[in-house]
Amino acid sequence: MDQAATAIKQITIVGGGTAGWMTAAALSRLIRPLGVRITLIESDAIGTVGVGEATLPHIRFFNERLGIDEAEFMKATQATIKLGIEFRNWGRIGDSYIHPFGDFGRNVGGVDFHQFWLRAHQAGKAGRIDDYSLPIVMSEAARFGPPSHDPRSVMSAFSYAYQMDATLYAKYLRGFSEANGVVRQEGRIVDVHRDGESGDISEVELESGDRIGGDLFFDCSGFRGLLIEGALEAGYDDWSDILPCNRAVALPCETIEPPIPYTRATAHQAGWQWRIPLQHRVGNGHVYCSDYISDDEAASVLLENIDGPACGDPRFLKFLTGKRRKQWDRNVVAVGLSAGFLEPLESTSIYLIQAAITNLVELFPNSGIRDADRDEFNTVMDLEYERVRDFLVLHYHATERDDSPFWNYVRTMPIPDSLKYKMDLFRDRGVVVKYKDGLFLDASWIAVYLGQRVVPQNFAPLAGAIPEDRLGPFMDDLRGLIRRTVDALPSHDAYLRQHCPAGPDLMA
Ligand X SMILES: Cc1cc2nc3c(=O)[nH]c(=O)nc-3n(C[C@H](O)[C@H](O)[C@H](O)COP(=O)(O)OP(=O)(O)OC[C@H]3O[C@@H](n4cnc5c(N)ncnc54)[C@H](O)[C@@H]3O)c2cc1C
In the complex, which residues of this chain contact ligand X (CB under 6 A)?
15-20, 41-43, 46-49, 51-55, 166, 188-189, 220-222, 224, 226, 248, 285, 317, 319, 336-338, 344, 347, 349-350
Residues 104, 113 contacting (CB under 8 angstroms): yes
DSSP string of 37-85, one letter each residue:
EEEEEE-TTT-------B--THHHHHHHHHT--HHHHHHHTT-EEE-EE
Tell me if residue 125 falls in helix, strand or coil: coil
Which of 83, 117, 113, 80 shows the shortest CA–CA distance to 98? Answer: 83
Q: Kindly give the residue spans of alpha helices, DSSP state H, lying in 241-348.
A: 295-304
Whether 82 sits among the annotated catalytic residues: the reply is yes
Residue type for 427, please? R
> Which of these is catalytic: 9, 75, 82, 125?
82
Which of 360, 259, 288 shows the shortest CA–CA distance to 53? Answer: 259
Which of 323, 324, 317, 318 shows the shortest CA–CA distance to 342? Answer: 323
What is the rounded CA–CA span in Å between residue 321 and residue 490?
A: 40
How many Cα atoms sit within 13 Å of 447 on the Cβ side? 27
Minimum Å distance from CB 350 to ligand X? 3
Minimum Å distance from CB 39 to ligand X? 12
Q: Which is nearer to ligand X, 261 or 344 (CB)?
A: 344
Q: Which is nearer to ligand X, 192 or 482 (CB)?
A: 192
Q: Tell me the torsion sign for CA atoms 361, 363, 366, 370.
A: negative
Q: Which is nearer to ligand X, 49 or 475 (CB)?
A: 49
Residue 464's beta-bridge partner residues? none
Minimum Å distance from CB 141 to ligand X? 24
DSSP, res 128: -
What H or E segment, with its residue span, contains residue 288?
Answer: strand 282-288
Residues 113, 107 contacting (CB under 8 angstroms): yes
Query: What stretches of 180-241 adopt beta strand conformation (E)?
Result: 183-186, 189-194, 201-206, 211-213, 216-219, 236-238
CA separation, residue 401 to residues 391, 395, 474 (Å): 18, 12, 36
Residues 230, 23 contacting (CB under 8 angstroms): no
* Terminal CA-CA length for the chain: 49
DSSP string of 102-123, one letter each residue:
B-SS--BTTB-HHHHHHHHHHT
Residue 2, judged by CB atoms within 10 A of its CB (0-12, 13-18, 19+), counts as exposed
* Torsion (CA) 437, 440, 442, 446 in degrees, nearest 10: -170
What is the rounded CA–CA span in Å between residue 432 and residue 430?
A: 6
What is the rounded CA–CA span in Å between residue 161 and residue 444?
A: 14
Q: Which residues are catalytically annotated?
A: 82
